[in-house]
Chains A and B, each alone.
Chain A
């Protein structure tokens, strides 16, 4: 016979076990609610209650035209500490490890870890380091250091780092360092883009932050939505050409003693910038020293509307003789002169009461228009502007060439240059004479490039640009080249190109490249100061393009304050020559004779290097 009390005993036992489990849970709940870690849990609860969180999307990447990454995102980590998880041992060991790994003072770290944060109502702190003048910045570590610290946290044999947390945060990185730094611009720690492409396309690259409901409690966990990422940009720049141009510029500065300079290379057929070498360079990975050198504060720049930092689009200068290309283009296009039109150079001309002389002070006698350009005669060009064109026609042409107006290039900080026309209250007739040879008028390098680019491109002026395509989640958008205007006819452009090619072959042999017919013009500009023009320093420049029968590139070289010689023909033209010799190889442009031969055979541009 079965014992009748047995089932009851089993039920009692089961009941006891369940009651014990419930009691255990109640004890645990009391411990969580009122125990020593209660403030920590309370903080978590507060955090969990704030379930709405703004998530920043990944910033768009920037590539060059061949797919080389120019700007990317990496992770850096903030070091945070759960103060209630610290022990006396972990305080010392965290301070010791960080002190050695990051070369920071042990005492400062230990003092932060040993402070009574609980009494201040803080249970999680971010470790900081001392920077100049008493300011403290959060300590950040890179991926390598973070991996080491994570390894320590997981290894029981490693130093005790209990309480240390690594909090990731995105950071912008430019793998090429200072290469094309001025074009790229930079991004500050808050993720805002400044200057260059980063500044101009900041809104597109940054994407749209999204507010999401975030569940920190496991029961409330759900799949978090990703905010729409920023678009990726493909630039028109070619990193290899950019590297070559920056190398050539660095060597030019070294050999001429110039204090600054630029080499800009553009495809005149579509306005694509192939390279923008600018010295001194800007390293976007480490932009603070650059800002210090410029005497700029990031906080001020955030409020400034048009900060000038990229000399290619923001640095105005009086162009000097390179500007004569535009004056001659106007005179030819208006049918006032022809290449063979004669001019007797007496060495001086008076315009508006100002006596204008040639660069060497001499009289060059009878000259054709080709001779005027070949010998870069100020008197001849001033005569063209004052006696032939007149102010109305002359300034109409300059306006058509975009002088005094920003090109609209997609880089932050562009300025429009300065052109005083007869409508300007301070304009005088003397301006007509000096403007004709590039004095009393200021342009930016990219503005000059665009204007002269019209001569290279059959009279059609295209907007320079650095972004080739915008790639978003929906696909790629390839903007069409923007035509800024047609300041001169195609016939005028071809005639002037021929004249400049002839003058280049004759006078400026430093710019000659074997096998290729090129056109170009030197420039030696005086630098205006508050007390008139600087007597010692000049800006030497050269603008040229080629091959003249099918221009594929236009190159502007500018050297500021060269020491070895003030003349563009001596210091800037050889740089143009060196750049073009490398450029025709990199762009796979066969010599003129080979192209003519191929054309005779009916072969298009389907050639391959061997």
Chain B
């Protein structure tokens, strides 16, 4: 009876650990899904922003505000001491692959009971006889 009870308790404990692991995995999947959704939203917002700042729309908005395109005769050139022309635009770098640095989780999160036992039995790598 006690053996059965011990087995059931061990089984229950194992199930509990696995259930928590599954919940963590579920949470990870949800976070990945949320991350993908947020990236999509960022891209969509970039596109919306770009559409709103296109030259023809900016020109129309400027005209609504009472501005007119400058013409040759409207312009006076003056020397501004120390004036530096704006630096050339540099686009943001695209995201690099995270496959090498972040592609897998630490064994602390993924090691199973069997893996742990195997690690205990297997001689340590590099250990001297």
Contacts and interface: CB of A to CB of B under 8 A. Distances in A.
Nearest to A598: B79
A73 interface: yes
Interface string A574-610: 0000000110110000110010001001010011111
A75 B94 contact: no
Interface in A31-74: 58, 60-61, 63, 65-70, 72-74
Interface residues of B, number: 61
Contacts of B96: 228-229, 473-474
Given A72-B47, A223-B104, A225-B103, A472 B25 contact: no
A187 B79 CA distance: 47
Given A229-B96, A469-B90, 11 more contacts: A58-B43, A176-B54, A223-B32, A225-B103, A472-B93, A473-B93, A590-B77, A607-B80, A608-B77, A608-B78, A609-B70
Interface in B18-60: 18, 21-26, 28-29, 32, 36-37, 39-40, 43-44, 46-47, 49-51, 53-56, 59
A2 interface: no
B99 A219 contact: no
B94 A223 contact: no
A104 interface: no
Contacts of B22: 218-219
Contacts of B26: 218, 221
A585 B70 contact: yes
B76 to A, nearest CB: 5
A552 B21 CA distance: 66
B109 to A, nearest CB: 9
Top 4 A-B pairs, shortest CB-CB distance: A218-B25, A225-B99, A473-B96, A221-B25
Contacts of B59: 243
A581 B71 contact: yes
Contacts of A114: none
B121 interface: no
Contacts of A609: 70, 75, 77
Contacts of A68: 50, 53-55
Interface stretch (A232-240, A406-414, A441-449, A529-537): A232-240
A546 to B, nearest CB: 13
A447 to B, nearest CB: 28
B77 A225 contact: no
Nearest to B28: A221
Contacts of B49: 69
Given A69-B50, A221-B29, A581-B71, A74 B104 contact: no
Nearest to B4: A15
A606 B79 CA distance: 7
16 contacts: A58-B43, A61-B46, A175-B51, A218-B21, A222-B28, A222-B104, A222-B105, A225-B97, A226-B99, A469-B91, A473-B96, A474-B96, A475-B93, A476-B90, A590-B77, A607-B83
B77 A607 contact: yes
Contacts of B110: 222
A67 B46 CA distance: 12
B80 A223 contact: no
Contacts of A227: 97, 99
A226 B94 contact: no
Contacts of A582: 69
A210 interface: yes
A179 B94 contact: no
A69 B4 contact: no
B72 interface: yes
B3 interface: no
